[in-house]
Amino acid sequence: MKNYLCLTYDLIEKNSTLGYNPLNIPEFYELKFTPVFEYEKELGLTIEDKLDMLRNVISYLKERNIHVTFTDRVYDEEKQWERNEGQNWRYLPVAELQGNNICVNPRNIDFLSIYLSIGHIYGHLVQRMEHEKYKKITDFLNYPKPLDLNFILTEYRNKFGGNYKEDFLQFEIEAFRYAKFAFLRAGNEFNELLDYAMNVYIETDFNELWRWVTISNLKSGPDFMDEFQKCWYNNRGKYTTIEPKKIEVNVVPDPNGSLIVIRDNVMVNS
């Protein structure tokens, strides 16, 4: 990864205005290993500001039975191509949804990417309530990687008559509209730089998706951060502001492993 400001937040104790290391609590201990980058100076956020933003959104989601876990691995029986033979866990390069638990690896990505990854996955969780609407887009994500992207694009066009990349981008933007509403409801404000960061994240994730699926069986956190910084420094003035899309949800896992989602006082299985 390029343009480190320092190695990790493990050094933050010397600089904290609190006089102690605010990461020395179980909830945020893993964040001590989060990389810090030069561009973050532009945000003007202290470590306390960043933790307040995370606390707000984590608390908001927890009230809806949606949880956030910082970890570098997940245990499940999915995506066998991402694990060694006989291994019952998968390495988590960036972030992923496990039931009603948003798992994020803070050792590979910076604060903004952690924060926006939580919102990103929450937005996709909301979209699961319309599973059939998005099935043609999301089925591709479960194909073993790497794959023949030209085949996927051609198959999608022949089946559905659309441009898969364009449809996927709109799918991503909608997820972030839900995310932005959740951030605002959690009490976190947006300024010009945070609006810009949201668009940078969307483009980074979009660019990295089409790159890694053709060359590897697994995403790369360091590659994600390199692309994020490239977009951050080169794309000023390129984007329009993502507008929030209003929705409130509660999630309850059922014994069969699906999700029972309560939306606008209507219970929907997805």
Nearest of 124, 99, 125, 89 to residue 255 by alpha carbon: 99
User: Which structural domain, as residue segments, surrounds residue 260?
Assistant: 4-269
- Dihedral of the CA atoms 256, 262, 268, 270 (nearest 10)? -50
Nearest of 4, 246, 243 to residue 109 by alpha carbon: 4
Alpha helix segments (H runs only) across 43-82: 47-62
How far lies 167's CA from each of 25, 124, 176, in Å?
42, 14, 15
Which amino acid, one-letter code, is at 108? N
On the question of pLDDT at 91 being above 90, the answer is no
Query: Per the structure block, which two tokens stand in for 170?
Result: 């709109």
User: Residue 213: what are its φ and ψ, rounded to 5°?
Assistant: -65, -20
Average pLDDT over residues 133-143: 82
CB 34 within 8 A of CB 109: yes
User: Residue 87: what are its φ and ψ, rounded to 5°?
Assistant: -90, 135
Nearest of 265, 240, 239, 238 to residue 250 by alpha carbon: 265
Q: Give how many domains the chain has, as a whole number.
A: 1
pLDDT of residue 210: 86
Average pLDDT over residues 190-197: 96
- SS3 label, residue 32: helix
User: Residue 96: what are its φ and ψ, rounded to 5°?
Assistant: -165, 155
Taking the mean position of all CA atoms in its chain, how far away is CA 126? 13
- 72 class by beta-carbon count within 10 Å (0-12 exposed, 13-18 middle, 19+ buried): middle
Confidence of residue 99 (pLDDT cuts 50, 70, 90): confident
pLDDT of residue 173: 96
Give, as one character, the DSSP assignment of residue 242. Answer: P
Cβ count near 171 (within 10 Å): 16
On the question of pLDDT at 52 being above 60, the answer is yes
Confidence of residue 78 (pLDDT cuts 50, 70, 90): confident
Length of the chain: 270
pLDDT of residue 266: 47
Average pLDDT over residues 180-185: 97
User: Between 16 and 8, whose confidence is greater?
Assistant: 8
Nearest of 226, 167, 218, 174 to residue 200 by alpha carbon: 226
User: Between 119 and 266, whose confidence is greater?
Assistant: 119
On the question of pLDDT at 6 being above 50, the answer is no
pTM of the model: 0.88
How far is it, in rounded angstroms, from Cα 66 to Cα 134?
A: 21
On the question of pLDDT at 269 being above 80, the answer is no
User: Between 195 and 3, whose confidence is greater?
Assistant: 195
